[in-house]
Amino acid sequence: MGAIPVEHGLILAGILFSLGLIGVLTRRNIVFVLMSLEVMLNACGLAFIVAGSRWEQADGQIMFVLILTLAAAEVAVGLGLIIQMYRRFQTVDINVLSELKG
Amino acid sequence: MMLLFYLAAFVAVIATVCVIVQTNIVHALIYLILSLLAVAVIFYTLGAPLAAMLEAIVYAGAIMVLFLFVIMMLNLGQNTREQERAWLAGRGWILPALLAAVLLAQLLYVLSGVEGMSAPEQVGVMAVGARLFGPYVLAVELASILLLAGLISAYHLARKPGAEDE
Amino acid sequence: MLDLIWLLPTFPLLGFLILALAEGKLAKGPAGWIGAGSIGLSFVVAALVAVSFLQSGLESHTVPIWMWMSVAGFDPGINLYLDGLSLVMILVITGVGFLIHVYSTGYMADDPDFSRFFCYMNLFVFAMLLLVLGDNLLLLYLGWEGVGLCSYLLIGFWYDDPYNGYAARKAFVVTRVGDTAMAIGLFLLFAQLGTLNIQDMLHAAEAEWAVGSALPAITALLLLGGAVGKSAQLPLQTWLPDAMAGPTPISALIHAATMVTAGVYLIARTHTLFELAPNVQLLVAWVGLITLLMAGFTAMTQNDIKRILAYSTVSQIGYMFLGLGVGAWSGAIFHLMTHAFFKALLFLGAGAVILSLHHEQDIFRMGAKRKQLPVGFLCFLIGGLALTAFPYTSGYFSKDEILIAALEVEGQGLWLWLGGVIGAFFTGIYTFRLFFVVFFGESRGHHDAKEVKGLNIALPLFILMALSLFGGWIPVPLDAVFSHGAEHEEHHISAFMHGVMIALPLFGIAISYLFYGSGILSAEKLMSLPGSRALHRFWNSGWGMDRLYDFLFVNPFLYLARVNAKDIIDAFYDMLAALSRAGHLLIVRTQTGYLRWYVLSMAAGLVALISVGVLL
C-alpha cells in the first residue's frame, strides 16, 4: 500500500487529455471525434479523483459522478445527432457539416 | 499498489494512443474500453472504489455499448477502413500534435510545483453517498434533469424523419 | 351690404369642398349646377357689392374676417380689402368666370372627369378672389400660389398624355422662378417697412424712401420678377403657349382672362413702389413692349389655333405692362378688363370650333367654315375686331389709352408708342390670318363639321360678344385708387398720330386679307424667299427661347444632376462601407464551418491563456 504522488496522477490526466485533444483535432470520422471527446472527459474525471484522494474527501468522487452523468447525456444526444446526420448526408465525414461557413 | 498504478497508467496511455490512431472503428472502441478499465483500476488504487465501479459499469459498460449500437446501426465496419486510412494520411497530424504537445508541456510545467501524496485510506461508498444526498442534493437533482433532457432529445433526434406522421 | 364681401370667396370654396368631398360620385347634372352655380352666386354678390360700393362713395373698405397669426409684431389678418381696383377684378373674375363655367358645363359634358374639372375650377376662383381681395401681401401670396397650383392641376387635367403633364410641370416650374423673386421681395418689404399690409406698406414706403433710391428699386424689381412669371412676360413667357395643353375653358379662364393678369394686378396694386423707382417702371414698359413684339412675330407663324391665341395673350399682357410702365395705371387695368372679355370670347369660340371639328386644332386643316359654324364665325369676327382695336370696340378704348400715355413719357415715349403701334399692326395680321384661314378660302378638311348645339355654350358666347363690342363704354372706378399718382389730364395728341393708331391695325387686317382671304398674295411665295424659311422656323419656335433655356439652364442642371447622381459626399460613406466590408471579408475567413478548426482555435486560445498565466 504505497502512496502515489499526486503529481503523477495529474500528469497522467494531462497526458490523456492531450491525447484526446489530438484525436478530436485529427479525426474526420465523427464517431471517432465523439470517442476522443470521451477520453478528454474521462481525463477530467481522473483529475478530480486524484485531487479528492489527496485530501481524503468524497467531493472528488461526487464530481466524477456528475461528469459521468454529463458524459452519458452528451453521448446520447451526440449519437442521436450522428444518426440523423448519417441519414441526411450518407456519411460520417465531419467536414460536410460546414454550412455555417462565413 | 504503486506498481498497479503505474502499470494501469501505462496501459491507459497505450490504449488511448491506439484509440486515436486506430482505423478500424470497432477495434478503436475495444481499445477505448481497455483504456477506461485501466483508468478504473487507477481510481481504485487512488482509494475511490465507487468511482472505479461506476467507471467500469457506466462508462466502459453502458456508454460504450451505446457506441457499439450506433456503429452497428450506421453499418460502419470493414468497408470504412480504407476511408479512415485515407483521412488519417497527410500532414493533418502535425499541427494538432504540436499544439497538444505544447499544452502538455505547459501542464507539466504547472504541475511540477504540486506536492503531496494520495491518501492511503479509501473514501468509501458510504461517505460519497452521504455527501451526495447531503449538501450535493441539488446537483443530483440537476443531473437527473440533465439525463432526462438527454433522453428526450436523443429520442427526438434519432427518430426517422416523418415518423410522427405515421 | 359691403360687409358681405366675405361671401365672395366662400361660395367657390364651398363648391370646391362639396365637389372634392363627393369624390366624383356626383352625377354630372348636380356637379355642373354646383360648379357653375357657386360662381354665379359669387357674381350676384359681387354685383350687389359693386352697386353699394359705388353708391356709398367710399374710397376703400376693409372687412376683417380672421386673424391669421400674430407673432412678435407680425400679424397678417385674413382681411378683405375692397377698392376700385379690386372691385374691377372681382367683377371680371366672377363675371367672366361664371360665363366660362356655364360654357364648360356644355364643353366638358362628355368628359368622365367632369366633377374634378369643376372642383379645380372652383378652387381656382376661390384662390383668385383671395389674391385680389387680400389686404396684405401674405394673403395675396396665398392666393397667388393657389392659382398657380390650380393652373398646374388644370393644364395637366388630361394627365393620361405625358405631354400634358410636361406642360403642367413647365408652367409650374417657370412661374416658380418668378414666385421666388416675389417671396424675397415680400421678405425685404417686411424687413424694411415692418408690415405686409399693402396700404400701410405703401404709405410707409412713400414716407421713408426717396424717389429713385436703391431699396424701392430692388423691391420693385423683385415684385416685377413675380409679375413677369405669372403674367408670362419676357423672360419667363415660355410656359404660356405650352399651357394650352389644358382644356379650352381653362385656357380662357386662367390663361387669358384672369390668372395671367395677376401680375398686372400686383404691379397696379403696388404702383406706389414703382413710382418710387422710375427706372424699374420704365423697365416694366420695355419688358411689355419687347414681349408684345416678340409674341406678335411668333403668333404670325403658328398653326395651332390655341397657340396663336396664347401668343396673342402674351402680347396683350405686354400692352398692359406697357401701360403700367408708362403710368397709365387705369389704362392697364381697363385693358385687363376688355382683354378678359374678348380673349375669353376668342378662346371659347375657339373651343366651340375645336369641339365642332372633333378636336382639330390646326387652322390649315379647317377653312371655309363660316357657313357651317356661324356662331364661331361671329365670335372670331367680333373678338378679332376687339383684339385688333377696331374703332369703338372695347379693345380700341383700352389700347388707345395705353398708347397715348406711352407717347407722353419723356425721352423714350415716341419709341414706346411706335413699338406699341407696330405691335397693333401685327395683332391685325395674326388675328385675321387666323380668321381668314379658318372661315374663308376652301375647306381643307372636316367638311361635315356641325356647330355644337346647346344654350349653355351659345349664351356665354353671345354675352361675351356684347361685352367685347361695348365693354369699352364701361366706366372703371379707378380714379380714387390711382389719384395720387400721375395727375389726370386731358390727353392731346395730334390727329395724325391718332390716325396712325387707327389705321395700322386696319392695314394689318388688309394684309392678311391679301394673303389669306383673297389669295392675291401667297404665303408660299413669301416663304420661298431666301432666309424666310429659317426666319419662320425661328419665330415659330418663339424666338428659340425654349432652346435657349434648355441650353442655359435645363441641360446644365441635368448635367450636374447626372454628375451628382453618385453623390460626392456619399463617397466618404461608401468608403466606410467598403472598409467595413473588407474587414468583414478578412474576418469571415476564420469562419470555415469546420468543427475541427473551431476546436483548434479553442485549444490555441487555451494554450495562449495558460502561457500568459505561466509567464506572469
Among B residues 116-145, those touching chain A with beta carbons less than 8 Å apart:
116-121, 123, 127-128, 130-132, 136, 139, 143
B74 and chain A in contact, CB less than 8 A: yes
Asked if A16's CB is within 8 angstroms of B123's CB, the reply is no
Q: Where are the domains of chain B?
A: 1-88, 124-160
Residues of B in contact with C611 (CB under 8 A): 106
Residues B75, C542: Cα–Cα separation, whole Å: 92
Per-residue model confidence (pLDDT) at position B31: 93
Rg, C-alpha atoms of chain B? 20
Asked if B112's CB is within 8 angstroms of A25's CB, the reply is no
Chain A nearest-CA distance from B84, in A, is 7
Output C576 or C209, whichever has higher pLDDT.
C576
Q: Which residue has the cell 364701361?
A: C474
Residues A77, A6: Cα–Cα separation, whole Å: 34
Query: How much is the mean pLDDT over chain A?
Result: 87
* Selection from C126, C127, C130, C98 nearest residue C32 by Cα: C98
Per-residue model confidence (pLDDT) at position C540: 75
B34 and chain A in contact, CB less than 8 A: no
Cα–Cα distances (Å) from B72 to B25, B26, C316, in that order, read 10, 9, 105
**Residue B151 one-letter amino acid:** L
- Cβ atoms of C194 and C73 closer than 8 Å: yes
Average pLDDT over residues C271-298: 86
Residues of B in contact with C600 (CB under 8 A): 95-96, 99
Residues B122, B131: Cα–Cα separation, whole Å: 15
Q: Is the predicted pLDDT of residue A79 greater than 80, yes or no?
A: yes
Chain A nearest-CA distance from C599, in A, is 7
Nearest CA in chain B to C602: B99
Average pLDDT over residues C29-40: 86
Q: Which residue has the cell 423683385?
A: C222
Chain C nearest-CA distance from A1, in A, is 35
Asked if A58's CB is within 8 angstroms of B130's CB, the reply is yes
Cβ-based contacts under 8 A for chains A and B: 256
Residues of C in contact with A40 (CB under 8 A): none
Strand partners, C136: C197
pLDDT tens profile C363-390: 787 777 777 888 888 888 888 888 888 8
CA angle (C488 as vertex; C483, C491 as ends), nearest 5:
160
Q: Is the predicted pLDDT of residue C485 greater than 50, yes or no?
A: no
Nearest CA in chain B to C612: B106
C602 and chain A in contact, CB less than 8 A: no
* Selection from C96, C2, C109, C39 nearest residue C454 by Cα: C109
Give the three-state DSSP class for C567: coil
C321 phi and psi, to 5 degrees? -65, -40
pLDDT tens string for chain B (166 positions)? 788 889 999 999 999 999 988 888 888 899 999 999 999 999 988 888 888 999 999 988 888 888 888 888 887 656 677 777 777 777 778 888 888 899 888 888 888 777 777 776 778 888 888 888 888 999 999 999 999 999 999 888 887 766 555 4
Q: Which residues contact C366 (CB under 8 A, 6 or more apart)?
A: C305, C353, C357, C360, C437, C438, C439, C443, C444, C445, C446
Average pLDDT over residues C50-58: 84
- Cβ atoms of C388 and C424 closer than 8 Å: yes
Strand partners, C79: C64
Residues C513, C516, C517, C520: is their CA dihedral positive or negative?
A: positive
Relative orientation angle of helices B94-111 and A6-26, to the nearest 10 degrees: 160
* Selection from A76, A41, A67 nearest residue B150 by Cα: A76
- Cβ atoms of C122 and C32 closer than 8 Å: no
Q: Which of A1, A57, A80 sits opposite B157 (nearest CB)?
A: A80
Cα–Cα distances (Å) from C419 to B71, C57, C172, C403, C425, in that order, read 110, 39, 31, 10, 10
Average pLDDT over residues A3-30: 88
Residues of B in contact with C604 (CB under 8 A): 99
Asked if A102's CB is within 8 angstroms of C589's CB, the reply is yes
Burial classification of residue B148, based on how many CB atoms lie within 10 Å of its CB (0-12 exposed, 13-18 middle, 19 or more buried): exposed
- Cβ atoms of A72 and B55 closer than 8 Å: no
Cα–Cα distances (Å) from C89 to B109, C130, C234, C332, C334, in that order, read 106, 11, 24, 12, 10
Asked if A21's CB is within 8 angstroms of C592's CB, the reply is no
Nearest CA in chain A to B132: A62
Q: Which three cell numbers stand for residue B136?
A: 450535493
Q: Which three cell numbers stand for residue C244?
A: 394650352
How many secondary structure helices (H) and strands (E) does chain B include? 8, 0
Q: Which three cell numbers stand for residue C586?
A: 478578412
Asked if A100's CB is within 8 angstroms of C599's CB, the reply is no
CATH number (3.30.1360.120, 3.90.1150.10, 1.20.120.1200, 3.30.360.10) of B1-88 reads 1.20.120.1200
C68 phi and psi, to 5 degrees? -70, -60
Residues C166, C540: Cα–Cα separation, whole Å: 20
Nearest CA in chain C to B113: C614
Q: Which residues contact C206 (CB under 8 A, 6 or more apart)?
A: C272, C276
Most trustworthy range by pLDDT among C449-458, C476-485, C529-538, C545-554: C545-554
Asked if A20's CB is within 8 angstroms of B16's CB, the reply is yes
Asked if B109's CB is within 8 angstroms of C607's CB, the reply is no
- Cβ atoms of C29 and C74 closer than 8 Å: no
Q: Which of B20, B32, B67 sits opposite A22 (nearest CB)?
A: B20
Cα–Cα distances (Å) from C70 to A30, B8, C183, in that order, read 82, 100, 19
Asked if A31's CB is within 8 angstroms of B20's CB, the reply is no
C26 phi and psi, to 5 degrees? -70, 145
Give the three-state DSSP class for C412: coil
Q: What's the 3-state SS for C43-71?
A: HHHHHHHHHHHHHHCCCEEEEEEEECCCE
Query: How much is the mean pLDDT over chain C?
Result: 83
B152 and chain A in contact, CB less than 8 A: no
> Percentage of residues in chain C with pLDDT exceeding 70?
97
pLDDT bin (cut points 50, 70, 90) of residue C487 is very low
- Cβ atoms of C291 and C321 closer than 8 Å: yes
Residues of A in contact with C583 (CB under 8 A): none
Per-residue model confidence (pLDDT) at position C207: 84
Q: Which of B99, B106, B110 sits opposite C604 (nearest CB)?
A: B99
Chain C nearest-CA distance from A98, in A, is 4
Average pLDDT over residues C55-63: 81
Cβ-based contacts under 8 A for chains A and C: 33
Strand partners, C71: C74
- Report the run of H or E that residue C82 belongs to, with start and end: strand C77-83
pLDDT tens profile C233-275: 888 888 888 888 888 888 888 887 788 888 888 888 888 888 8
Per-residue model confidence (pLDDT) at position B166: 44
Residues B130, B124: Cα–Cα separation, whole Å: 10
A 10 A CB-CB count for C611 gives 12
A37 and chain B in contact, CB less than 8 A: no
Residues of A in contact with C603 (CB under 8 A): 21, 25
Residues of A in contact with C588 (CB under 8 A): 102
Which of A26, A33, A81, A96 should one mutate to test binding to chain B, selecting the residue with the greatest count of B CBs within 10 A? Answer: A26
Q: Which three cell numbers stand for residue C385?
A: 375686331
First to last CA, chain A: 57
Asked if A25's CB is within 8 angstroms of C596's CB, the reply is yes
As a dihedral over the C-alpha atoms of residue C111, residue C112, residue C114, residue C116, rounded to 10 degrees, the angle is -130
Asked if B63's CB is within 8 angstroms of A72's CB, the reply is yes
Residues of C in contact with B106 (CB under 8 A): 607, 610-611, 614
Burial classification of residue A101, based on how many CB atoms lie within 10 Å of its CB (0-12 exposed, 13-18 middle, 19 or more buried): exposed
Asked if C603's CB is within 8 angstroms of A21's CB, the reply is yes
Q: Which of C587, C591, C599 sits opposite A101 (nearest CB)?
A: C591
Residues C229, C243: Cα–Cα separation, whole Å: 13
* Selection from A7, A8, A33, A9 nearest residue A21 by Cα: A33
Among C residues 554-593, those touching chain A with beta carbons less than 8 Å apart:
587-593
pLDDT tens profile C452-472: 777 888 888 888 888 888 877
Give the three-state DSSP class for B117: strand
Q: Which of B95, B99, B109 sits opposite C614 (nearest CB)?
A: B109
DSSP assignment string, A31-85: HHHHHHHHHHHHHHHHHHHHHHHHHT-SHHHHHHHHHHHHHHHHHHHHHHHHHHH
- Cβ atoms of C39 and C8 closer than 8 Å: no
pTM of this prediction exceeds 0.95: no
A 10 A CB-CB count for A90 gives 9
Residues A93, A101: Cα–Cα separation, whole Å: 16
Q: Are strands C60-67 and C77-83 parallel, antiparallel or unpaired?
A: antiparallel
ipTM, 2 dp: 0.89
**Residue C586 one-letter amino acid:** L
Relative orientation angle of helices A6-26 and B2-21, to the nearest 10 degrees: 10
Cβ-based contacts under 8 A for chains B and C: 20
Contact partners of C by the rule of 3+ C-beta pairs under 8 A?
Answer: A, B
Contact partners of B by the rule of 3+ C-beta pairs under 8 A?
Answer: A, C
CA angle (C419 as vertex; C414, C423 as ends), nearest 5:
145
* Selection from B24, B26, B31, B36 nearest residue B62 by Cα: B36
Q: Which of A4, A64, A76 sits opposite B150 (nearest CB)?
A: A76
Q: Which three cell numbers stand for residue C420?
A: 406699341
A 10 A CB-CB count for A79 gives 24
